[in-house]
Chain A
Amino acid sequence: MSELASTREAYGKTLVELGGQYPHLVVLDADLSQSTMTHYFAKHFPDRFFNCGVAEQNMMGIAAGLASSGKIVFASTFAVFATARCFDQLRMSIAQPSLNVKVVATHGGLSVGADGFSHQAIEDVSLACSLPGFTVVVPADAAEAERVVRLAAETHGPFYIRLSRPVTPQVPHNGQGFVLGRATTLQDGSDVTIITNGLMVTRALAAAETLSGQGIECRVLNMATIKPMDEEAVRLAAKETGAIVTVEEHLQQGGMGSRVAQLVVEHHPVPMAFVTVRDVYTHSGTPDELLQEHGLTSSGIEKAVWTVLRKKRS
């Protein structure tokens, strides 16, 4: 795996290029531009950047108004504040009229670390997915984040894009060819499918490698687009491998795994296991400590794989 970069850094740099390409593109932030990386855009296009201060609800309303008047709007803050804080504004002002607002939220998941539960978004994907019309994407690395942000600018309609705080390695064979609504097969296998996204992709690949040494061949899907989900990839995973493990940096309820489960039940029921944050709030710690606590590690994934394999074989 190659050099380290953060998905938020890729976002900030891509925004500058998009700003040159689309004269109608505007960017909003809520006093976190140094962290969400919209400050690059602010520097290049000060007239098209609006810092709304610490007022996320107002920001989403302003975003809606701008979008209704023909602008492509990118609105950024931390994932907790982007979703939980202004959920009704997302619902009323953006989702229902299906406006062209791209909510790009950074600091998703547990890997925010030491700031503690107030800053760790573990329900954001669930909230965003619950909004009719929203496209919800969780990129795994910088290349994919860049591609997703470009596609979001090109595609009309509301987006929720969840980015991460830490730097991550570039995942081989990921990113450049990303297509909205299509899972990326990172490796093929016939015993079990691991479906994951975001920062968990590298952990899933590590688990798959260990399992391969033990004679288990895993298919690994990067399900970056959670909504709309790649139904065909899920159906084939169920049919061809007969067991599925989902891995995500999110609460179990309403996240990527529960959406996969819905499709599996509809199309081809098979044993499943979910590597997620259980029904609890979290606390301060290093990203690794927190992920470890919730079994979001390669060994946690391996354990889940053995569990579904036992069920598949019995």
Chain B
Amino acid sequence: MSDEKEISEQTGTSAVVNHAESSVMGFTDKDCPSLKELKKTAMTVRRHIINMIAEAESGHPGGSLSAVEIVSSLYFKVLRHRPLEPGWPDRDRFILSKGHAAPLLYAVLAESGYLPVEELATLRKFGSRLQGHTDSTRLPGVECSSGSLGQGLSFGIGVALAGRLNNKDYRVFVLMGGGECDEGQVWEAAMAAAHYGLDNLVGVIDHNELQIDGLNREIMNIEPLADKWRAFGWEVVEIDGHDFVQILDAFENAKQTKGQPTMVIARTVKGKGVSFMENRVEFHGKAPNRDQAAKALEELDREAKCLN
């Protein structure tokens, strides 16, 4: 997508949320939600994910739910972005490399104001902008088409290099899966990003220990994961991927790191927030049926009430 084109298309819509105006980090006190609000938003996002996938009768709940806190932190606290001006050239970029978590991205984009929340119900339907896996040609705000694993980090390197060439100070965040790290291209990118010293690039691995056929360690062992990234020349931060404070700290740490890219290895639970989906491999790519969806929403409601 050409930024110029997007900008001209978006002319007239830029009188919108501008998280960038009054702070370096890209969020102001006013815009910056408290921890409690972030937690509430995460619950809302989880509800959207369940509703969307249940309505579509197909999709990937497990790996969408495991990264809710990570992606919510980015969009509601870390990224410098303008939801009504998705092509803003100075925006921070979020690249969803594990494209099967598309419902999560759409939910967060909707809660940020990129698209109407009602549109979420069109997920995976004929003619919808909300494709089964992300399609950057259809929905503004989606930086990169995905669904074929292992390609997002390379794309992110290109975007980060362009930022450097164009004297832009935007930052690039790429979300990957643990199983996705089986792909050779991930490690080609790992080498390249460190080689170019891309400190404007931050990777996050949603390390939920499961892929499709089972546990990472049984299908293809990726450990010791942190040591691998370190050996490739990355700054590595290991965190609990459901703890907002740790997530935000990790991104702050990445910002302070100079001369090398940062990889945040986030320990997560696949299917997080819905008891019967947690750590259950069968909910990688299976939609909840009506009863299951109702039960899931009930659980999430109960959790949300506890936050009040």
Contacts and interface: CB of A to CB of B under 8 A. Distances in A.
A and B together in one complex: yes
Interface of A: 29, 31-35, 39, 51-55, 57-58, 80-81, 84-85, 113-119, 283-286, 289-290, 293
Contact of A55 (B131, B146, B182): B182
Interface stretch (B20-28, B147-155, B156-164): B147-155
A114 B58 contact: yes
Interface of B: 56, 58-59, 99, 124-128, 131-133, 135, 138, 145-150, 179-180, 182-184, 211-213, 219-220
A81 B125 CA distance: 23
11 contacts: A31-B220, A51-B219, A52-B182, A53-B220, A54-B179, A55-B183, A116-B135, A116-B147, A284-B124, A284-B125, A284-B126
Contact of B133 (A29, A32, A118): A118
Contacts of B127: 283, 285
B12 to A, nearest CB: 28
Contact of A54 (B56, B138, B145, B183): B183
Given A80-B148, A114-B58, A31 B182 contact: yes
Contacts of A53: 179, 182, 211, 219-220
Chain B interface, >50% SS class: loop
B179 A285 contact: no
Nearest to A38: B213
Contacts of B213: 29, 31-34, 39, 51
Contacts of A115: 58, 124, 132-133, 147
A87 B125 CA distance: 31
A65 B201 CA distance: 37
Given A33-B213, A55-B220, A116 B132 contact: yes
A52 B212 CA distance: 12
B212 A284 contact: no
Nearest to A286: B126
Contact of A119 (B126, B133, B150, B182): B133
Contacts of B58: 113-115
A284 B179 contact: no
State the 7 A-B residue pairs at the shortest beta-carbon distance, nearest first.
A118-B147, A53-B220, A285-B126, A53-B182, A116-B132, A114-B124, A54-B182
B128 A284 contact: yes
A58 B186 CA distance: 13
B286 to A, nearest CB: 10
A31 B56 CA distance: 24
B207 to A, nearest CB: 14
Contacts of A55: 182-184, 220
A46 to B, nearest CB: 12
A54 B133 contact: no
Given A31-B179, A54-B211, A290 B126 contact: yes
Contact of B212 (A32, A119, A286, A293): A32
A119 B179 contact: no
Contacts of A32: 212-213
Contacts of B145: 117-118
B150 A116 contact: no
Most chain A Cβ neighbours within 10 Å, of B59, B149, B180: B149
Contacts of A284: 124-126, 128, 131-132
Given A31-B213, A114-B58, A285-B125, 11 more contacts: A53-B182, A53-B211, A53-B219, A55-B220, A84-B148, A117-B131, A117-B135, A118-B146, A118-B148, A283-B126, A289-B126
A53 B133 CA distance: 20
B131 A116 contact: yes
Contacts of A85: 148
Given A53-B179, A81-B148, A285-B125, A58 B132 contact: no
A222 B211 CA distance: 38
Nearest to A114: B124
Nearest to A283: B131
A55 B211 CA distance: 12
A80 B146 CA distance: 13
Given A31-B213, A289-B126, A51 B133 contact: no
A114 B285 CA distance: 12
Most chain A Cβ neighbours within 10 Å, of B56, B58, B138, B220: B220
B186 to A, nearest CB: 9
A311 B147 CA distance: 43
A289 B146 CA distance: 22
Most chain B Cβ neighbours within 10 Å, of A35, A52, A113, A118: A118
Nearest to B124: A114
Contacts of B180: 54
B147 A54 contact: no
B149 A54 contact: yes
Contacts of B149: 54
Most chain B Cβ neighbours within 10 Å, of A51, A52, A80: A51
B147 to A, nearest CB: 3
A119 B183 CA distance: 17
A113 B124 CA distance: 9
A55 B212 CA distance: 13
B144 to A, nearest CB: 11
